[in-house]
Amino acid sequence: MKNVLITGASRGIGAACALLFGKAGYRVFVNYNKSEKQAYEVCEKIKSAGGEAYAVQADVTDLTAVRRAVSLCKYHGGGLDVLVNNAGIDFYGTFEETTPEIWDSVIKTNLTGVYNAVYAALPELKETRGKIINVSSVWGVFGGSCEAAYSASKAGVIGLTKALSKELGLSGVTVNCVAPGYIDTEMNARFDEKTVADIIDRTPLSRTGTPEDVAEAVLWLASDKAPFFTGTVLNVDGGFM
Ligand code: NAD
């Protein structure tokens, strides 16, 4: 049985990934920071479908905590085959409203969080010739107005993905990322109907995305069906870009 650690998996895209990997026969390590109850609910869903899952607490901004989470994967699963760096936060506001504290917190969670998880998990991933899949965003590719910190953090995730893919090629570890467009999750709850309608209007497939749309792409990148992919940015955006 292969092991996958998914950060920020108590809800949204991370939870959809956890459920899909569980269905696909992976032992799933459901990382959460504060949402313990929701993380255990995700685990219960996986278990009641016949799978194996463990909730593992760690704030991705804390390298020591992430190392502990990786140790738990080793303890319960014997190693790690796939790391999905999904945990993230958003800040919507003008650049002037982006205080140094907000800037630091977005970069620390969305970019340093990915660094921490890769840094902690790499020895295990090298053992299994594993896969890293990072969750970036369309805004990381072309930048979003009033999302400077978020766009910068997600562009950083793309840069990290590409650099690591080159460095880790010989060790057999692949590093890819997905760049989702507008996905229906709590992160987007603040947008009003008109804004969402405008996004749908600009999307060739004429709808918003679902967490499952992204999870399918992540699972595929982690699977044996994508053996020759590394350093890829896969847009999951209904053609928005
Ligand atoms: P969400 O807010 O529902 O989920 C984010 C998850 O990350 C939550 O479970 C949250 O608890 C967790 N998290 C936040 N900070 C954390 C920390 N320090 N340590 C551990 N976990 C932490 O949003 P979502 O839409 O499911 O977002 C998942 C990922 O997808 C994020 O990286 C987000 O930036 C990215 N994304 C989302 C969209 C979208 O339209 N929803 C589009 C592109 C990219």
Question: What CATH number is given to the structural domain containing 166?
Answer: 3.40.50.720
Q: Is 140 in the pocket of ligand 1 (CB under 6 A)?
A: no
Give me the active site residues, please: 150
Q: Is 33 in the pocket of ligand 1 (CB under 6 A)?
A: yes
State which ligand 1 atom lies nearest to the alpha carbon of 154.
34
Angle formed by the axes of helices 12-23 and 36-48, nearest 10°: 20
In the chain, the number of structural domains is 1
In a domain, 141, yes or no: yes
Q: Is the separation of the CB atoms in 178 and 133 below 8 Å?
A: yes
Distance separating the N- and C-terminal Cα atoms of the chain: 37
Q: Is 116 in the pocket of ligand 1 (CB under 6 A)?
A: no
> Which three-class secondary structure state does DSSP give residue 234?
strand
Q: Give the structural domain span for 80.
A: 3-236
Best mutation site among 13, 34, 133, 199 for ligand 1 pocket (most ligand atoms within 8 Å of CB) = 13
In a domain, 140, yes or no: yes
State which ligand 1 atom lies nearest to the alpha carbon of 11.
9
In a domain, 241, yes or no: no
Task: Kindly report each contact of residues 75-80 with a partner whose C-beta sits within 8 Å and lies 24 or more positions away, as own/partner.
Answer: 76/27, 76/29, 77/1, 77/3, 77/27, 77/29, 78/3, 79/3, 79/124, 79/127, 79/128, 80/3, 80/4, 80/5, 80/121, 80/124, 80/125, 80/128, 80/130
pLDDT tens track for 28-55: 999 999 999 999 999 999 999 999 999 9
pLDDT tens track for 126-136: 999 999 999 99
For residue 15, what pLDDT is reported? 98
DSSP 30-92: EEESS-HHHHHHHHHHHHHTT-EEEEEE--TT-HHHHHHHHHHHHHHHSS-SEEEE-------
Give the distance (Å) from ligand 1 centre to CA of residue 72.
Answer: 22
Task: Label residue 9 by pLDDT band (50, 70, 90).
Answer: very high
For residue 156, what pLDDT is reported? 99
Task: Label residue 229 by pLDDT band (50, 70, 90).
Answer: very high
In a domain, 31, yes or no: yes
Provide the whole-model pTM. 0.99
For residue 213, what pLDDT is reported? 98
For residue 95, what pLDDT is reported? 98
Which residue reads 């467009």 in tokens? 181
For residue 166, what pLDDT is reported? 98
Task: Label residue 90 by pLDDT band (50, 70, 90).
Answer: very high
Give the distance (Å) from ligand 1 centre to CA of residue 134.
Answer: 12
Task: Label residue 120 by pLDDT band (50, 70, 90).
Answer: very high
Q: What is the average pLDDT across 104-132?
A: 98
> What share of the chain in percent tops pLDDT 70?
100
For residue 116, what pLDDT is reported? 99
In a domain, 21, yes or no: yes
Q: Is the separation of the CB atoms in 115 and 157 below 8 Å?
A: no
Q: What is the average pLDDT across 149-165?
A: 98
Q: Is 35 in the pocket of ligand 1 (CB under 6 A)?
A: yes
Give the distance (Å) from ligand 1 centre to CA of residue 50.
Answer: 26
Q: What is the average pLDDT across 65-81?
A: 97
For residue 175, what pLDDT is reported? 98
For residue 153, what pLDDT is reported? 99
Tokens, residue 211: 């967490």
In a domain, 155, yes or no: yes
